[in-house]
Chain A
Amino acid sequence: MLMGDVLQYTVSGLTVGVIYALVAIGYNVIYNVTEIINFAQGEFVMLGGLCAVFFVGTLHLPISVAFLASILVVGAMGFIMERFVIRRARDVSVLSLIIITIAISIMLKGTAMFWWGKDPYSLSPFSSGGPILIGGAAIQRQAFWVVGVSALVVICLTAFFQRSVYGKAMLACADNPNAARMAGIPVRQMVLLSFVLSGAIGAAAGVIITPISLMEYDRGAMLGLKGFGAAVLGGLGQFHGALAAGALLGLAESFCAGYISSGYKDAVALVLLLLALFFKPEGLFGSKEAAGLKKF
């Protein structure tokens, strides 16, 4: 094992790992308020990336504007999804609810294929310049953007949930929707907000990873599954757990690709997801007691 290789795999693992963490946080935001697992979460990431490609490549907007615009567009999709579909499905069974979000996910995928076709698209990195050489490893500049933006998202979300009235209201809905309603919290609006927020977080992840890994219409399912793996491993609903678990999955995947088989790198995260669901559904950092309240 060469030190340079190890460092290289670590950096690329962490980079992709924080993306999984952001997907996981997207799941958590909706889960916290509704106990729904949104199967379209991965598609939000894909759409975020492809929207940015459209804004930069076709409309020639600067990347910062494209970044915000993509977040707005995908956030709006989260809005539409909740307002016009999920809200109508208030009284359906869990089985139907699962099928509804799966249906939305393949519709988003189909729409993306309709707009962008089947080719993968690239996006130029946020800052120009060659890779930075550290200890025999070449680190792409975009990797710093990925980690930086993700950290910013996590900090903002933590502040939002701990400090702002809306954030606290959303957490109250998660604890006990009936009590929250009685305390005067508009639960439906909080659910709506959670879908918008979740779409925005997904889009941010999509925009920052596209310069590194490209983006195409059918990437959503895999990103969604791996992100869900991070969410479960980290303990559903927990932001910091998601961050740690995402990094863990990213590292496992990157070292598998480096030392065992690149073809099976996608399977690693999925096997870890299954193991987590089967043997530790409360997550690595969750307590058994808290898990007892959840419906696995």
Chain B
Amino acid sequence: MGKKDWGIFLGTLLVIAAFPWLVKPVKAISHYLDVMVFAGIFSLVSIGLSMLMGYAGQISMAQAAFFGIGAYTSGILTSRFGFNPWAAMPVGILVSSLVAWLLGIPALRLKGHYLAMATLGFGVIVNIVLNEEVEWTGGPSGMGDIPSLSFAGVRITSEMGYYYVVWSMVFLALLFCFHVLHSRVGRALRAIHEEEMAAEAMGVPTARFKIQVFVLGAAFAALAGSLYTHYITFLNPASFNLMWSIRFLLMVMVGGMQSLWGALLGTVLMTFVGNEWLHIFADFEILAYGAILLVVALFLPKGLVSLISPGVGSHKVRPPLTDGSS
């Protein structure tokens, strides 16, 4: 991580840590805490997607499916087999990563439109399975009886508790991603994004790196799915459909896909837009989502962070000589 990123990291950490104490006393906005729990959960998905889109230059329309695989694995293991949620979580991540790996090997050989269609198709298939395997998933009517997370034998039931659990994970994920980006792998990913053929010619194993980032994104999405499950303790396939994959795409695009900070900013913003401000439009919010997506793609392809600070966390490649131990 560069100096600038460390600065933003610590600043963001402070704001996030203080946030509950600032909003809790004000009645009118005390429910923002709940919105921010969701924002944190979605951030885990969008950080993974940002790694894939912004850094490796590959698109995925299947993030909601990986989110769902994590959520349902956790939900089924805890409610049917009596797993502790903390034990179910890694299983969900493992299942999702394995699926992503198996899908990624053939899918990531495709480019652009074809990769988008393949991941889109996969996402829809997963949603059909969630709807049809009624015996396991409860089908369209959903499944309940999912336990909350507990810590040292005490069940976490408050929003405050979840808030700190979720956001700790977000910051750990960020640290991990910054570490990856400033290593050999990160430089290789940027090379793939710039010019895949050239990267390959320079001896970068492009296929392997692309699959690794794809799996990483699926693992983060599954972790998010598991946290989501134990927070709302009820699952329904509609939370994991195509529209949600598009919403994750939107979160990453709005903030700026070539920066992890952008993904974070976009996710928090779009979660507030979705849960708070557009709620009155109910189903018609998709019109707004379409319009936002179109405007961003046409006029602001680097997202909101490019307005704030053109260089943040993005394409600056550190000279390889100083790397060594990063």
Contacts and interface: CB of A to CB of B under 8 A. Distances in A.
A112 to B, nearest CB: 10
Interface residues of B, number: 41
B253 interface: yes
Nearest to A274: B121
A281 interface: yes
Contacts of B283: 113, 118
Interface of B: prevailing SS: helix
Interface in B136-162: none
A219 to B, nearest CB: 13
B59 interface: yes
A222 interface: yes
Contacts of A37: 113-114, 116-117
Contact of B293 (A102, A111, A266, A296): A102
A156 interface: no
A225 B61 CA distance: 13
B286 A93 contact: no
Given A222-B124, A274-B122, A102 B246 contact: yes
A274 B106 CA distance: 9
Contact of A270 (B116, B125, B293): B125
Contacts of B120: 225
Contacts, number: 132
B81 interface: no
B290 interface: yes
A226 B35 CA distance: 37
B185 interface: no
A290 to B, nearest CB: 16
Given A95-B57, A99-B293, A296-B111, A106 B286 contact: yes
Given A95-B57, A270-B121, A274-B122, A281 B294 contact: no
B114 A221 contact: no
B249 interface: yes
B99 to A, nearest CB: 13
Most chain A C-beta atoms within 10 Å of own C-beta, residue among B57, B107, B246: B246
Contact of A110 (B116, B131, B290, B297): B290
Contacts of B298: 85, 88-89, 92, 96, 100
Interface of B: 53, 57, 59, 61, 106-107, 109-114, 116-118, 120-122, 124-125, 128-129, 131-132, 242-243, 246, 249, 253, 283-284, 286-287, 289-291, 293-294, 297-298, 301
Interface of A: 36-37, 39, 85, 88-89, 92-96, 98-100, 102-107, 109-111, 113-114, 118, 221-222, 225, 228-229, 232, 261, 263-264, 266-267, 270-271, 273-274, 277-279, 281, 295-296
Given A105-B290, A274-B121, A277-B118, 9 more contacts: A92-B297, A96-B301, A98-B112, A107-B294, A110-B289, A222-B124, A229-B121, A267-B125, A296-B114
